């Protein structure tokens, strides 16, 4: 089975994973897939949509098997319509894996050569950022502070240990509270030499 060359965008809720993924997706050679966006695009009347909505509304993680199934279907769909070309594009993934079990499950599909850890040391600032995003993007899952804090609890318990799954030498720490432009600059400074190594171009 072919494994996709992958960069993971990793960090707490509100750290800017989706923002930076969208920026990178505008650069040829990068394809961004957000697991959260995949979930939000589901028809809420469908079985998967109802199940995802029920967990998300409580700030809880969707079960691993459901998550991986939905994610794989979405990725294969993007390949089928030629939006993602694995031989040419780096897969920029955010929102997955969200726990160590998912990291183990996705090893068969992902060749993770870089993890961008968007570091968040000020939880209050991140909560404020999520509330502002809820207003601008009409995201109900970010509007309730108790749900946000529950998401942080889940992140610290379930997701943060994922960093220990990958070799320390492929993990880059990027400050997430800088401006989006500064964060993007720092990410590209990290990624460009690594991508060149894994996707060499003929001179």
Catalytic residue among 131, 151, 197, 201: 151
> In what order do the strands lie in the sheet containing 4-11?
30-34, 90-94, 4-11, 110-119, 171-175
Can you read off the two tokens belonging to residue 36? 């959260």
Query: Would you call 150 a catalytic residue per the annotation?
Result: no
Active-site residue among 133, 149, 150, 157?
Answer: 133
Contact 156, 148 (CB under 8 A): no
- From the list 2, 5, 17, 72, the catalytic residue is 17
129 noted as active-site residue: no
Taking the C-alpha atoms of residue 180 and residue 183, their distance in angstroms, rounded to an integer, is 5
**Helix/strand/coil for 86:** coil
- Give me the catalytic one of 139, 157, 185, 196: 139
98 is catalytic: yes
* Bridge partners for 90 per DSSP: 30
Can you name the residues that pair with 93 across neighbouring β-strands? 8, 33
Active site residue 22: no
Query: Facing residues of 110 across strands?
Result: 4
> Is 197 among the residues known to form the active site?
no
Residues catalogued as catalytic? 17, 98, 133, 139, 151
């Amino acid at each position: 089975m072919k494994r996709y060359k992958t960069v993971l965008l990793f960090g707490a809720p509100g750290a800017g994973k989706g923002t930076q993924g969208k920026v990178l997706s505008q650069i040829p050679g990068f394809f961004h897939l957000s697991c959260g966006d995949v979930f939000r695009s589901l028809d809420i009347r469908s079985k998967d949509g109802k199940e995802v909505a029920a967990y998300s509304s409580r700030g809880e993680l969707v079960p691993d098997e459901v998550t991986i199934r939905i994610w794989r279907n979405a990725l294969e769909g993007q390949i089928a319509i030629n939006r993602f070309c694995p031989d040419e594009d780096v897969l920029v993934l955010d929102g997955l894996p969200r726990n160590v079990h998912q990291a183990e499950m996705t090893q068969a599909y992902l060749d993770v050569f870089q993890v961008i850890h968007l570091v968040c040391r000020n939880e209050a600032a991140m909560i404020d950022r999520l509330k502002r995003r809820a207003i601008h993007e009409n995201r109900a899952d970010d509007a309730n502070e108790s749900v946000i804090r529950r998401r942080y609890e889940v992140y610290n318990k379930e997701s943060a240990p994922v960093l220990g799954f990958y070799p320390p030498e492929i993990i880059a720490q990027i400050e997430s509270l800088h401006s989006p432009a500064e964060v993007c600059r720092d990410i590209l400074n990290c990624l460009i030499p690594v991508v060149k190594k894994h996707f060499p171009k003929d001179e």
